[in-house]
Amino acid sequence: MTPSLEEFITLLNRDLRLEYMAVIQYTQHFGMLNPRAAALGEQLQNLAGDELAHALILAEQIRLLGGRPDVHTPRARTSDDPLTLLGQDRRGEQDAIARYQSRIFQAEALGLDSLAQILRHILAIEERHLELLDSLISS
């Protein structure tokens, strides 16, 4: 079902909150793994930067649609076990992929073609994140 513009802005704000959470989670997981597992930590540092870029894009787009970017953040997940940390990050990426897939359909249905294109770009990066986490978990 196609959301109203107001509902769509609410959904984008949910995405924005989860991007904030991803920044915090990857930053904390980086700290947990560095320098003991520096190569792994470096990968998570890069992911934190990507998620911040997504948050900045969403904040701008929400404003352009007439909304107000949210400032609230869901609680990030953590653990003392490196494999559990990566599993938490993997679930976040799976969730992001599913959300952005529906967000692209919704943007297209609302005639927001340039936003749909921006969301496709974010989706491609989330898919790369999932592939990276899969390879880190299996190595």
129 binds Fe ion (CB under 5 A): yes
Buried b / exposed e across 73-106, counting CB within 10 Å, b at 16+? eeebbeeeebeebbebbbebbeebbebbeebbeb
User: What's the closest the beta carbon of residue 110 comes to Fe ion, in angstroms?
Assistant: 21
Q: With respect to Fe ion, which residue has the nearer C-beta, 6 or 102?
A: 102
126 binds Fe ion (CB under 5 A): yes
15 binds Fe ion (CB under 5 A): no
Residues numbered 42-71 forming contacts with Fe ion, rule: CB under 5 A: 51, 54
Spatial separation of the C-alpha atoms in residues 96 and 22, rounded to whole Å: 10
Q: How many CA atoms lie within 13 A of 133 on its CB side?
A: 24
Q: Residue 35: is the preceding peptide bond cis (ω within 30°)?
A: yes
Size of the site for Fe ion (CB under 5 A): 5
Spatial separation of the C-alpha atoms in residues 82 and 139, rounded to whole Å: 12
17 binds Fe ion (CB under 5 A): no
- Per CB under 5 A, the segment of 8-16, 26-34, 59-67, 93-101 that binds Fe ion is 93-101
User: What's the closest the beta carbon of residue 51 comes to Fe ion, in angstroms?
Assistant: 4
Residues that bind Fe ion in the complex, under the rule CB under 5 A? 51, 54, 93, 126, 129
